[in-house]
Structure 1
């Protein structure tokens, strides 16, 4: 090697591992390094030996020959050492062909030195690599100490770095995640559709701009748990302006959601109290006209708070994905947050249904409703309604079918009320029909009495005989083994009975032989309405 008078700090003892299968060259490298003030704790002739020595001595830098004897070459060893120990690598090789260099570049080396090695070039390469590594380690220390999750990827979307918060939220350790596709570790899905999102890092790199996460997104951790998150992705650029990767900064967005829910729960309790007071006052009104006016006013006043709650829920879901969390402890788990939001949604829906059903029942009992009679083609009306319920039935693995004769007469009735009757009966059937069973809607004309029968039959469930007389009572619900899965308000069938009576008809239920059938009998001609007392 060429000798040169180079200035160096005699106190500096940087540990450098030499990996070279030519013993004479290895010894020359060791002597040159020691002459430059570096320490050489070991020399390895194979990739396997290099890994063993590096694990034992933990060098500050490795001089790695690319061509080594054995199953692994220097590039394989360098990749392993960087991924496991984060030790900087400088390749020393007599081969400079393009394919070898391209393969070596993928291991993120800190420099190249061609044989024969000159001490000046060796010194410059080592000092440059050490300074670069020190700067990168300082940056990584900053990223590791951040309170948000940080993931750094290369231009291909492969993970290069995770900080401690990112490890906690994703469930992946850095040594396991490094080199993997971003989507495998940072698995984002839409909260409602459960569909996976596109790779945000690739989008930021391609567009060369900061990309923000859309609303209502959750992170699926390694163990399958979900965490609501918000994030931003920015491209990384070199000093020459070239894009070298992207950095993802994200945070757990659960805590704000919990704080908002406490406020909404209190608000709901106050609204419920006002609703009950309004309903009690309604029952004291006797004059039909006063009832009509009062019901219109109260209907608006009861439903407005519920509309406000719905808007608050929707706004909350947007804000939770845009705002920072309060830094308080302990933080709720993602499963808790999902459960709390689901409770809020479900309770809002149940409350709205309860208020609507109570108001509609009160209208019917006050006899302030008017009928809007029209000619109805049952074949088309029922087929359309069935189409609306097919997806629900398929979701519950139920078979929904119709039995409609082609010679059905035109029915004179109120289309909205008739649709409401059939809708309630179908909702009831879908709720109680087990998976794999059938729901059938059938129509049978009764020419002798000039009436028509509509039947909704479901198999797989039977109502006890002693319960049948009570199923049309207000707030009655069919007993089940799990009272938490009953759902509903207990007003659906009571409302159906009132609506059927308002159309001049009758309704009854039969249950035997493993099936239940609700039969609605209506007059075809509205002139028969007067024969039925409402």
Structure 2
């Protein structure tokens, strides 16, 4: 928190010193305290703070609203307004500057901290969103495709971000209204809601950034040594912590544990498939992650045992004299995918008709397919309505020779 720099704009010297003191106690760095809008503009350009606390009513020719508007037009620095009183006309002007929050004087130290943290979260998210949109735009092959895809991104982002944004805004209002009546436990719960909503927004933005990098050819496969069983168990443990529906996440490990794989791409594959399995399964259902190692020659019975018919049908990339495969199967007991839609599930933004009441972006399986393709693998899906779904991923990989030999003795 010490790296966060804040500029205080307040024309009452005693109030300005009090605010600066509170900020320092909270661990923030105060770049300066100034008394006018003109000074604020100069200090922002000079010190480049991370956030500006701006009193709306300032003495002199320029009030806080005008100063905030000029700062916004010059640099990308979020502003939080401080006010004890302002007429309706001034407040309407303030809204046009798109402030990141309001603090009503007098305020408590906790109000100040919450307002700052929410403003910084929002600013960070908006910066990521701009970067994601920029990356995705650079990947377009034609003006028509660029326009169509941009509209899809904006529409999807606006729809998916609305709920967590509302959660953040409502939580902020609750903290402001109930600051004298609510307990510490209630405030902690509200802040957790803000944190959860922020995580959901960050995940959506990370997904968009992944797609932007993948489509522009910037995403590469970088295999590194990995203990496969430990890695998968740790990942399941992490997903179990956020599993509010209390699904049972089960790992069926392979006898071969050491391998060379891209951990980030592997994480994209397993985490997205597990999260989908949880999302589309009944509460308390069972989700199984099964690992299997396959070392075989083309046409061997062992290969046919490891691979389902779908793989043997289209798996030209594995048709070498000898190959080793990691087989990942993820099974759930969920609603299932209609047979007529199985061929469309990896398309960007596509969502099956029977999932309309469940929130989702339509990016998860597209990301899985990209991550599989980047590693030279393949993926197939088997599903039955009301029974469940199984995704099977086959990845070519290099297992450590000593471990393979010991397993084959």
Q: State the TM-score, normalizing by the size of structure 2.
A: 0.46
Q: Which structure shows the higher helix fraction? A: 2
Larger-gyration structure (1/2): 1
Larger RCO: Structure 1 or Structure 2 (Cα < 8 Å, ≥ 6 residues apart)? 2
Q: State the TM-score, normalizing by the size of structure 1.
A: 0.36
